[in-house]
Amino acid sequence: MKNNTTAPVETPQPKEGERSESSVGGGGSTGACGPTRPGGAPDPEVVPRATRRRFGAAYKARILEAVDACTKPGEVGALLRREGLYSSHLTKWRRAREQGQLAALAPRRRGPKPDPDRPLVRRVAQLERENAQLNTRLEVAETIIEVQGKVSRLLGLTMPKINGKNA
């Protein structure tokens, strides 16, 4: 016959340096909606969302100059701690400076780039329109002068000569 009694199950105790399951979940201080107050009500304060830091080209150049000016042991580390930077920042910024990319990181205007020839293109188009209009007026004026010359010959009128040509 089999024994139906079950042995008590031992719950494993956390080893030294390990966290218990209750501490993994955060204990009882955080609920499904976030931190709770001692009374059990949720904390209404909204935690600000972390944003990635962005360093401008001028800041990077200033920091690299300050690092290059450091002569004593520990000065670079103190500067990095004061500014909240890592040595990997310096490595990347130095590499960018050597490749000439640091000046290219300066802020630029967004959108289409301005065409330096655009004012010239406008002026050429305007002059071409004016030229076409003046050519049309010249053709009309030459036609009128030609007709006037034919009319004066039919009527027998003589036109005065200016510089050896009929006016």
- Could you tell me if 66 and 79 are in contact, meaning their C-beta atoms sit under 8 angstroms apart? yes
Residue type, 59: Y
Mean pLDDT in residue range 135-146: 94
pLDDT surpasses 90 at 124: yes
More confident residue, 119 or 34: 119
pLDDT of residue 156: 83
Rg (CA), the chain: 44
pLDDT digits (tens, 9 = 90+) for 35-77: 566 666 777 777 778 888 888 888 888 999 999 998 899 999 9
Distances (CA, A) of 13 to 10, 17, 24, 28: 9, 12, 14, 20
d(CA 28, CA 21): 12
Pick the range with the lowest mean pLDDT from 17-26, 48-57, 74-83.
17-26
d(CA 4, CA 73): 74
Mean pLDDT in residue range 113-130: 89
d(CA 61, CA 59): 5
Q: How many CB atoms lie within 10 A of CB 34?
A: 13
- Could you tell me if 32 and 62 are in contact, meaning their C-beta atoms sit under 8 angstroms apart? no
